[in-house]
Amino acid sequence: MTPTIRLGRLFGIEVGFNWSLIVIFVLVAWTLASSVLPAAAPGQPMLAYWLTGLVGAVIFFACLLVHEFAHAIAARRRGMRVGGITLWLFGGVSQLEGEPPSAGAEALIIGVGPLASLVMAGMAYAVALAGAITGAPVLFTQLVGWLAFLNLVLAVFNLVPAFPLDGGRLLGAFLWWRTGNRQRGVRDAVWVGRIVALLMIGLGLVELFVGSIVSGIWIAFIGWFLLSAAGAELTAMEVRAALKSIPVSAAMTSPVATVPEWIKVEDFLTSVAPHHRFTTYPLHALSGEVTGVVRLRDLLRASAADRATMTLRDLATPIAEMPRAHPDESLGQMIERIGGALDRRVLIFADGKLVGIVSPSDIARILTLRQAFAPRPPRAVA
């Protein structure tokens, strides 16, 4: 998942969040300020409830980060690279590059996340208990106690055996260990996840019929999300398997047309773009060095006044922020490593030179050709 807003780098790992996280932030702060804290500590100023609720939401997000960093650090110690961490509606996603070396390694990488949440729940509960014994402010003890509860819920929810939750991936690792085949293990775990998702949808509908409208909608929505995620996980695995033996060079568009970064946007749109079929253009400086990439849609969004004064460099994505690959790398490995960043295009470098670009349409073309020429099973004859 590509973050909507990037927060920066921590321990060398890029951290960001998706816009859907705002929903959880508001929900946590509102629940604390409007119901939990007033019921536990009546008579406090409303401003105190809201400030405490906002602090609680921020701390809870910090707990989500600890959960994801547990995954990331364990993956690093097993030789895997971490592309970044994105927080979103249902927690967080650690973008791990490559496949774990063994089923045991995958189980360890996945398992440390819920374990970290359980440890934080225990620590928060101990702090809340100590605060109550020593007479700490009631708002403080109630906030910490509620954070202990949230971390416990986070750990338990993540252990549900359905993708993309940790429980689904743990089940996949277990089945991988039992069968000796990672793809088969993931496929079987996906089917189990689908059954769990359908059960949750059914439970949500039952809740709706008995009058628990809010909880019913949430349970059904989560079940629908898990059902969709299971299908996406299975499709992604099949795509990676199909492309595992195909090099990036077979899909990339080459040669690459680069344009000077100093051209005015208006001049480019009227004099250069009409003569090309591309939607993405790498830029070069006077030295010939590739400095960034500009998207046609970004140029078209600029106002008429900006088009007349701004250069392509002003609207470009810096080269350092663009995903890269080598022509000899496997397409399957590249997709697993880059993930959603593929939509921004992938620059293909060889010996320090830009030799091609890969876009989602290039991947779709390769998949279509592979399916067209794949051997078909023999037809039965009566």
Beta strands at 353-358 and 280-284: parallel, antiparallel or unpaired: unpaired
**Residue 272 DSSP symbol:** I
Nearest Cα to 181, choosing from 168, 172, 191, 193?
Answer: 172
Residues known to be catalytic: 68
The CB density around residue 149, as the number of other CB atoms within 10 Å, is 14
Please choose, from the candidates 260, 274, 261, 277, the residue with its C-alpha nearest in 3D space to the C-alpha of residue 315. Answer: 261
Residue type for 276, please?
Answer: H
DSSP β-bridge partners for residue 14: 9
Q: Regarding beta strands 280-284 and 317-318, do their DSSP bridges make them parallel or antiparallel, or are they unpaired?
A: unpaired
Rg (CA), the chain: 25
Between CA 198 and CA 224 the distance in angstroms is 8
Question: 38 with 49: CB under 8 angstroms?
Answer: yes
Give CA–CA dist 74/256, Å, rounded: 39
